[in-house]
Chains A and B, each alone.
Chain A
C-alpha cells in the first residue's frame, strides 16, 4: 500500500509569491490534515479536511488555505508569501474516526527568499 505522497519535496519562492502544495493520502483514507514545522514553533496544526469539508482549522492567517478533492487528495495554498513561511509542511492522512493514528508524508520543504 503506497504511503502519503507529498509534492514537491523542495520549493524555493520569493516574498510576495504564492505557492500550492499537494498531498495524496493513503488509498481509502478520507481525512487529510496539514502541519507546519519550524525550528522555533515546532509542529503546528494548519487544517484538517474530511470528505471535502474542512473539519478543523488552526490559528493561521487567511493567507493559508486548503481544499480536498473528491478523491481525497488535498492541496494547500499560501498566498503573499512571507519570510516566516519558510518551513517543512507535513501532510497526514487517516481513516474516518478521530482516534485513528495519522500517517505522515515526507513533507515539502518551503524556502522563502
Chain B
C-alpha cells in the first residue's frame, strides 16, 4: 500500500523567514508521481508541482523550491522569504502507475502560518 507521511502538523514563522515542509513517501511501484498541493481557507486545492519517479532534478519556481531524493523517499518543499499569503495547508501526495496504486494518496497536511 502507498503511504505519505508529513510529520510536521503545524508550522509558524515570521514573514521573510525560510521554511521547509517535509514529505516522506512509501510505495512499491517503480513508476510513480509526487505532487504538492496548497489549500487556502477557501478550501480549493491548488496544484503546485508534479514530479515523476524518474526525474530527481530539483526544481525552483520563484520563492518555491522542491528537493526530491529517491534514496530517502523524500520530496521536501521549501518556501524562501515567506509571505503572509503563503499561510495555508500544504499537502504532499503520491500516485502510483497502475491498479489500486493509481489513486492519489495524500499526507495529513501541514498548516503553515506566516505572521507579519
Contact = CB atoms under 8 A, between A and B. Distances in A.
> Taking chain A's interface residues, is the majority helix, strand, or loop, or is none over half, making it mixed?
strand
B104 to A, nearest CB: 6
A64 interface: no
A10 to B, nearest CB: 11
Interface in A29-82: 33, 35, 42-45, 48, 55-56, 58
A56 B100 contact: yes
Contact of A43 (B44, B46, B96, B106): B106
Interface string A85-113: 00010101000001101111111010000
B102 A98 contact: yes
Interface residues of B, number: 25
B64 interface: no
A92 B91 CA distance: 15
A111 B49 CA distance: 32
Contact of B43 (A99, A102, A107): A107
Contacts of A35: 104, 106
B52 A99 contact: yes
A90 B45 contact: yes
Given A56-B100, A90-B45, A99 B95 contact: yes
Interface of B: 33, 35, 37, 42-47, 50, 52, 91, 95-98, 100, 102-109
28 contacts: A33-B104, A35-B106, A42-B108, A42-B109, A43-B106, A45-B103, A45-B104, A48-B102, A48-B103, A56-B100, A56-B103, A58-B103, A92-B104, A98-B97, A99-B52, A99-B95, A101-B35, A101-B50, A102-B35, A104-B44, A104-B45, A104-B46, A105-B44, A106-B42, A106-B43, A107-B43, A107-B44, A109-B43
Interface of A: 33, 35, 42-45, 48, 55-56, 58, 88, 90, 92, 98-99, 101-107, 109
